[in-house]
Amino acid sequence: MPRVSRQQKDRPAWAQALVKRRMALGKRQEDVAAAGGYDEEGKEVLTTSNVADVETGRVHLLNVGLGKAVALAKGLDWSFSQMQRATGLDLGIADASLVAEGSADVYPLQAALTPDDPGAPIDHHAVAPDVKQPLLLRMDSDEMMGLTAASIRPGEFLHVDRADTTPAEGRVYVVTDEDGVHVRMYTQTRLGPVFRAENRSHEDIPASEARVVGVVNTVTSDREPHQLN
Domain 101-220 has CATH 3.20.20.70: no
| CATH superfamily label, 6-87 | lambda repressor-like DNA-binding domains (1.10.260.40)
Q: Residue 32 contacts by C-beta under 8 Å, 6 or more apart in sequence?
A: 22, 46, 51, 72, 75, 76
At residue 112, the pLDDT reads 55
pLDDT at 162 over 60: yes
More confident residue, 72 or 131: 72
Show me where the domains of the chain are located: 6-87, 101-220
Helix axis angle for 66-75 and 48-56, nearest 10°, is 90
Residue 42, Cβ neighbours under 10 Å: how many? 6
CA–CA separation, 152 vs 197, rounded Å?
Answer: 10
Instruction: Say how far apart CA 109 and CA 113 lie, in whole Å.
Output: 8
Confidence bin at 47 (pLDDT 50/70/90): very high
pLDDT of residue 31: 95
Torsion over CA of 175, 181, 182 and 183, rounded to 10 degrees?
Answer: 70
Q: Which of 152, 199, 153, 155 is nearest to 172 (CA)?
A: 152
What is the Cα–Cα distance from 123 to 107, expressed in whole angstroms? 9
Closest among 81, 78, 2 to 35, alpha carbons compared: 78
Q: What average pLDDT does the segment 171-199 reach?
A: 91
Query: Which pTM does this prediction carry?
Result: 0.50
**Cα separation of 194 and 186, whole Å?**
6
Going through the chain in order, the beta strands assigned E by DSSP cover: 134-138, 157-161, 172-177, 180-189, 192-196, 205-206, 211-220
Cβ atoms of residues 23 and 31 within 8 Å: no
- The pLDDT value recorded for residue 145 is 85
Angle at 193 between CA 100 and CA 169, to 5 degrees: 70
Nearest-angstrom CA–CA distance, 28 and 51: 10
pLDDT at 105 > cutoff 70:
no
Whole-number Å distance between alpha carbons of 179 and 171: 21
